[in-house]
């Protein structure tokens, strides 16, 4: 994987979404075809022998690479969404983010007992959203769960992995 290529395409936006936050914008990675191929290939390569049956992406940036990786692995894709976006019966969890409380939801028929799940999101910061997503996924009694991120803010949030009790891999650590 060409880490220098990926790093050169990440934009850092100060004071977004609130003053004092340095936002890591990965949309520039997705709009570059070579970066998208690199990331898809790298993530699929990590999990190619794990028997992944479903890739679960967290709204909204987790959908982009998550769906691409699901296709590369021959797995299904399942979205975890913000409240009010899913039309059928759902499971929901409320949790604390860096900026206050938030909720996420998943369809009650999205996964099956025994699935091997890869949870994907663009960024691991505090780990709160991932922890909440794992609560939802566990309602289905999957066989195994893995977690993957494009970027991990390891220096800024060194304890985030402690909140995640599944194997975690990230493509880049900042």
Q: Which of 34, 37, 98, 112 is the catalytic position?
A: 98
- From 37, 38, 59, 61, active-site residue: 61
61 as an active site residue: the answer is yes
Sheet containing 144-152: order of strands: 76-80, 54-58, 116-124, 144-152, 168-173
Give the whole-angstrom CA distance, residue 23 versus residue 11.
8
Distance of CA 37 to the CA centre of its chain: 17
The contacts of residue 167 (CB under 8 Å, 6+ apart) are 146, 147
In this structure, are residues 136 and 117 in contact, taking their beta carbons and an 8 Å threshold?
no
SS3 172: strand
Active site residue ranges: 61, 98
């Amino acid at each position: 994987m060409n880490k220098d290529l990926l790093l050169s395409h990440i934009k850092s936006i100060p004071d977004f979404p609130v003053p004092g936050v340095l936002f890591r914008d990965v949309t520039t990675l997705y709009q570059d075809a070579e970066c998208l191929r690199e990331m898809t290939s790298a993530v699929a390569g990590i999990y190619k022998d794990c028997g992944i049956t479903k890739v679960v992406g967290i709204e909204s940036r987790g959908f982009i690479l998550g769906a691409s990786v699901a296709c590369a692995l021959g797995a299904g894709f399942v979205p975890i969404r913000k409240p009010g976006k899913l039309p059928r019966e759902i499971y929901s969890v409320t949790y604390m983010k860096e900026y206050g409380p938030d909720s996420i939801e998943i369809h009650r028929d999205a996964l099956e007992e025994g699935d091997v799940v890869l949870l994907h999101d663009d960024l691991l910061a505090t780990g709160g959203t991932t922890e909440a997503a794992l609560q939802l996924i566990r309602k289905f009694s999957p066989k195994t769960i893995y977690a993957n991120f494009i970027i991990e803010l390891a220096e800024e949030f060194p304890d985030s992995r402690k909140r995640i009790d599944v194997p975690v891999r990230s493509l880049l650590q900042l």
